[in-house]
Structure 1
Amino acid sequence: MRWCWRLSRRCNWRKTGARVCCPRKMIAVIADDLTGAAELGGIGLAYGLEVELSVSVNPQSKADLLVIATDARSVSEPEAVREMTEVSRALRELKPLLIYKKIDSVLRGHILAETRAQLTVLGLTKALLVPANPALGRTLVGGQYFVDGKPLHQTHFAHDPEFPVTDSDVLKRFKITTEPVFVRNPSDALPDRGVVFGNVEKWTDLQAWVERIDHQTLLGGGFGFFTALLDSRFPPKQKTATLVAPGNTRLYVCGSAFKESVDWVKKAVHSVQYMPKARLKSGALDESNRTTWATKIAERLQRRKPVIMAIDPTAVETSTTIQLRTDLAKTVRDVLNRTHIDELIIEGGSTASAVLREIGVSRLAPVHELATGVVRSKAIEIPQLHVTVKPGSYRWPPELGLF
C-alpha cells in the first residue's frame, strides 16, 4: 500500500495554506547525537516548518517537526538500546506521520542494535537506512562507502576515538546476528524483513529511495535522505539574504578530535584557553583547577573577547574521552555562573549533549541554519542564550569564524 506522503495533486496548498493531505502533520526524528538532531532541525527551517528540538518527548508539542536528540552514540550499546526504546515508545503515542531515525552519515554508533529494538517497539518488519549524502561527497556504491572518492577506512574516520572505521564494506562492519542485513540499489526488490542499507551515488538516487517508502518500514539515514523526503512533500521556503549577527560574548567549546578542528583551534591561539595540563596528566581535574580555568575564561568574556575552550591533543596522557567531556561541560557551567554569555558555540555532538545537560538546557528552538549541519537555536531554559552546534567533521561558517 502506498503511503500518503507526497502532496496530493488535488491539494492546492498555495491557495489553502495546507502543507499536507494527511490527518497528522507532525514528523518526528530520533537522532543519536545532538549535532545530528540540530542538522535535521535546520533542514526543517529551510522548508518553513516549525521546529522543536528536545532531549525528551514533549506530549504537548505542536511542532511540524519534532526532533529528539538522544546521546545514544556516546553510551554503551545496552544504554543506547534502552534510550532508543524509550523515545520510540513515547513518540509512537503521538502518532506522527513519520518517525525518522537519524544516524551518523558514516555509520558510527550502535546502529543495528538500536534499529532492531525500534522495529520491535514500532511494530515494523524492516528498516531502510540511507546514510550517504552525495552533496558532501559521501557515497555508498556497491556496499562500499566513499568520502570524496576515497574508501572510508582510508580517511580521518579511521582514527575516530570511539568508533574507528576499519573497513569501507558496510556488511563487514556490522556483526550480523538475528536480524538479516542487506545492501540494495533503489531499483532492487526489497526484502520483507530485516535492515536494508541503500546505495546512493547521486541526488537522484535519494529521490528514488523516497519512492520506495511504505507503512511497514522504519526510515532512517542522514542529512541527504531526510532532505529528499521533505523535498518530495513540502515546497521549499524562499531563501532571503538574512544577516546573522552573533552576540558580543561568544564562548566556543571544541570537543572534536578531527584534524581540521584541531588546526582551526591552533590558528586562534590568542583566543584559546586549553584545559589545564594537570587534568590531562593526572586524570583528575580538582575543584581548584577547574575554578581557576573558569575564572580566566569568564574574565576574558567580560572584556567582550571571544574564548575557545579546547583540549590540547598533544598533552593528553591518561584521561578518557568521557572524563574530558565531563570536565569541559562542568567548566562551561562554572563560566555561566560567573558571567553572561550571548553565544555558546559547541563542536561535536557528544560534547554538546554533555554541556547542555550540565547547564540545564533540554529544549532548543532552531532559528538559523548558518551552513549545512550548523544550526543556531534559542535555549528555552536560558532565554538570552543562543546555542550553535556543529558536527566535528563540518567546516565553520563565516558568521562564526574568528579570522
Structure 2
Amino acid sequence: MIAVIADDLTGAAELAGIGLSYGLTVELVIGQYAMSVNTHSGADLLVIATDARSVAKSEAVQEMTEVSAALRTMNPRLIFKKVDSVLRGHVVAETRAQMNVLGLEKALIVPANPALGRILIDGHYYVQGELIHETHFSKDPEFPITESNVMKRLSVNNEPISVLPPAATSLLQGIVIGEVGTQGDLRAWAARINKQTLLGGGAGFFTAILEATYTPKCPAYPMDIVGLCKLYVCGSAFGHSAELVKKASMTGDFVCYMPNALMHVDDQESAELANWVAHIVSSFQRHEQVIIAIEPDSVVDSCKLATRLRALTGKVVKQVLDQVSVDELIIEGGSTAAAVLREIGITRLAVAQELAAGVVRSKALEKIECRPAKCCPDNLHITVKPGSYRWPVVLWSF
C-alpha cells in the first residue's frame, strides 16, 4: 500500500485521481486526526485529506502527528506528504512532526510542477515565468506570498533546511526542498527515494514516483459527466477563476454572490443567509447550473474572516441541498470543499474520474441523514478543484 497525507482536500483528491489513472484502487477519506485512518483498508492507495492548511500551526502539527502514527502501524510501502505546490501552509512544522513520528532524520519535499508552469530554480519560485510574489499568490488571504526566495520564506530557527538541485550528490540532514525546472528533474528526484527519507511535495513529484513503478491503465481525462443539475461553489475570490465568475454573472442570473451583509457579524446573519438560500433555489427553478461565489471586489484579507465565510458557504450549500436535488456538486478550493463536505456530512468518497490535472470527480459514499431522501440521490457526485488551477472546458461552459 501507498499512503498519502494531504494538508487539504483538493490536494488529496488530486493525488487520488493520479493513482486512479495508474490503475490503483483508491480510498479517499476526509477527516482529522487518527480517527480518519482506516487501518483495515485494502486499497492500493489510501489518501487521507486533513484540513491542516486552514487551522492553527499547533493543530496542524497535532493532526499530522496522529495521522502519521496511525499510518505507521499499517506499515505501508510509502508514506507521501502532499503539500501545496507553492508551499503555502505550515509545511516545515508539519514535516518535522512527521519525521519525529516516523523516526526519520531526512525529508525531501519537491513541490514544483513544470506541467503547470510552476518551477523552483536557484532557490526562487516562478509561476508561468513570473516570480511568485509578483502573481496573484501575493493576495492569498491566509498565506500571502511576498517572497520568491524559498529559504527566506521557510527558514525557522534551529530547523535545518536546505534547497538543493536534483544533481546534488547527497541529501543533507533535515528538510531538503528539491529544485525542479523540468519533468526530467522530477524523475531524477524520484529515482533517489529511499525508506530513510520522508517524501513529500506536489502532484508532479507523486506522478514521477508512480511512473517509476506503474503504467497508466485508463484514459487520463474521461469526459462523461452525466449529471444535469449542477451546483458550483467557487471558493476563490482572486485570480483567473474569480474573473470567470464575474464574466458569467454578466451573461445570466445564475450567479448568486454571497450578500455583502454576511461579510460582517451582526444580528441579521440568519435572515441574510435565508435570503441567499432563497436566491439560489430560485435560480435553480430557471437554470440547471448555478454558481455561488464571493464577489471579486469583496475584501477577504484575514484568516479569521476567510474561515467564517467558508463556514457560511457550507451552511448555505446544506440548506440548498435540502431543497434541490443536485446531481453534481462542484467545489473550487480545498478549504472550501472541506467546510462544505463537513457541513453536509460526507466523510468518504469513491474516486471516479480525473477530469483534468488536479480536477477530480468522486461519488459520495454516505447518505446524509439530515436531508430528505429525495434530495440525496444515489448518483450524487462531487468534483473538487484547487483554487489556483484552471477550469477544464468540460466543466466550465458559461
Query: TM-score if structure 1 supplies the norm length?
Result: 0.90
The whole-number CA distance in structure 1 between the counterparts of 2:196 and 2:174 is 11
> Of 341, 345, 367, which aligns to 2:330?
345
CA distance in 2, matches of 1:360, 1:284: 27
SS at structure 2 position matched to 1:86: helix
Shift in Å, 1:385: 1.2
How far the C-alpha of 1:324 sits from its partner, in A, is 0.8
Structure 1 partner of 2:74: 94
| Contact kept in structure 1, 2:26 and 2:350, CA below 8 Å | yes
Match of 1:202 among 154, 157, 182: 182
Q: 2:280 matched to 1:297?
A: yes
Residue 80 of structure 1: aligned partner: 60
> 1:361 corresponds to which letter in structure 2?
I
The answer as to whether partners of 2:300 and 2:306 remain within 8 angstroms in 1 is no
Distance 2:176 2:82 in 1: 15
Q: Output aligned runs, 1:378-397, within 5 Å.
A: 378-382=363-367, 383-397=378-392
Please list the CA deviations of residues 128-181 of structure 1 after superposition, one character each: whole Å capped at 9, or x if unmatched.
000011111111111111112211111111111111111111110013223200
Provide closer, same or farther for how the CA distance between residues 384 and 299 of structure 1 changes in structure 2, counting only shifts above 3 A.
farther
Letter in 1 for 2:4: V
Find the partner of 1:399 among 385, 394, 398: 394
- Please give the residue correspondences for 1:32-71 in structure 2 after superposition, counting only pairs within 5 Å: 32-55=7-30, 56-71=36-51
Query: Hey, what does 1:274 align to over in structure 2?
Result: 257
Code of the aligned partner of 1:200: V
Q: Deviations over 1:87-114 (max 9, x none)?
A: 1111111111100000011110000000
Residue 108 of structure 1 contacts residue 163 of structure 1 at CA under 8 Å; is this kept in 2?
A: yes
Does the alignment pair 1:361 with 2:336? Answer: no
Q: Does residue 373 in structure 1 map to residue 358 in structure 2?
A: yes
Instruction: Quote the offset at 1:315 in angstroms.
Output: 4.0
Structure-2 change in CA distance of 1:284 and 1:59 (3 Å): farther
SS of the counterpart of 1:61? Answer: coil
Contact 1:125 1:192 (C-alpha < 8 Å) held by counterparts: no
The alignment partner of 2:325 has SS state of coil
Q: What is the alpha-carbon distance in structure 2 between the residues aligned to residue 317 and residue 206 of structure 1?
A: 35
| Compared CA separation, residues 188 and 362, structure 1 to 2 (3 A) | same
Which one is further off, 238-247 or 195-204?
A: 238-247
Q: Which amino acid aligns with 2:333?
A: G
User: 1:33, CA displacement in angstroms?
Assistant: 0.5
User: How many aligned positions are there?
Assistant: 378
Offset, 1:186: 1.8
Distance 1:240 1:312, change over 3 A: closer
For residue 286 of structure 1, what is the aligned residue in structure 2?
A: 269
Aligned partner of residue 237 in structure 2, secondary structure: coil
Report the CA distance between 1:291 and its aligned residue: 1.9
Change (3 A) 1:285 1:376: farther
Q: Compared with structure 1, are the counterparts of its residues 355 and 288 closer, same or farther at alpha carbon in structure 2 (3 Å cutoff)?
A: same
Quote how far apart the aligned CAs of 1:280 are.
2.3
- TM-aligned CA distance change 1:102 to 1:316, over 3 Å: same
Distance 1:285 1:106, change over 3 A: farther
Q: Deviations over 1:330-363 (max 9, x none)?
A: 1111111122111000001100000000000011
TM-score, normalisation: structure 2 = 0.91
Residue matched to 2:372: none
Q: Do the aligned partners of 1:246 and 1:400 also contact (CA within 8 Å) in 2? A: no
Which residue does the alignment assign to 1:333?
A: 318
The residue identity in structure 1 corresponding to 2:396 is G
Distance in structure 2 (CA, Å) of the matches to 1:238 and 1:370: 12
Contact 2:243-2:296 within 8 A present in 1 as well: no
- CA 1:303–1:72 in 2, change beyond 3 Å: closer, same or farther? same
CA contact (8 A) 1:248 1:304 kept: no
Quick one: structure 1 residues 346 and 284, their matched pair in 2 at CA, closer, same or farther if it must change by over 3 Å?
farther
Distance 2:188 2:152 in 1: 26
Alignment match of 2:206 (pick from 221, 226, 244):
226
Q: 2: distance between equivalents of 1:323 and 1:240?
A: 36
Residue aligned with 1:100, SS: strand
Query: Of residues 173, 177, 196 in structure 1, which corresponds to 2:157?
Result: 177
- Give the 3 Å change call, closer, same or farther, for CA 316–139 of structure 1 in structure 2: closer
* Deviation digits for residues 3-55 of structure 1 (CA, Å, limit 9, x no counterpart): xxxxxxxxxxxxxxxxxxxxxxx101011100100111111111011111112
Show the counterpart of 1:22.
none
Q: Tell me how far apart the structure 1 counterparts of residues 258 and 135 of structure 2 sit (CA, whole Å).
A: 28
Rounded to whole Å, the distance in 2 between the matches of 1:327 and 1:32 is: 21
Q: Residue 33 of structure 2 corresponds to which residue in structure 1?
A: none
User: Take 1:334 and 1:76, find their aligned partners in 2: how far apart are those partners?
Assistant: 28
Q: Sequence identity of aligned pairs in percent?
A: 57
| Worse overlay, 186-195 or 58-67 | 186-195
Contact 1:302 1:339 in 2 (8 A): no
d(CA) in 1 for partners of 2:41, 2:214: 20
CA contact (8 A) 1:268 1:402 kept: no
Deviation at 1:240, TM superposition (A): 7.6
Sort the Cα spacing of 1:183 and 1:317 in 2 relative to 1 into closer, same or farther, 3 A. Answer: closer
- Counterpart-to-counterpart distance in 2, 1:191 and 1:230: 21
Change (3 A) 1:296 1:241: closer
Give the conservation status (yes or no) of the 8 Å contact 2:237–2:295.
Answer: no
2:90 aligned partner: 110
Rounded Cα–Cα distance in structure 2 between residues aligned with 1:60 and 1:391 = 29
Tell me, in whole angstroms, the C-alpha distance in 2 between the residues paired with 1:162 and 1:391.
15
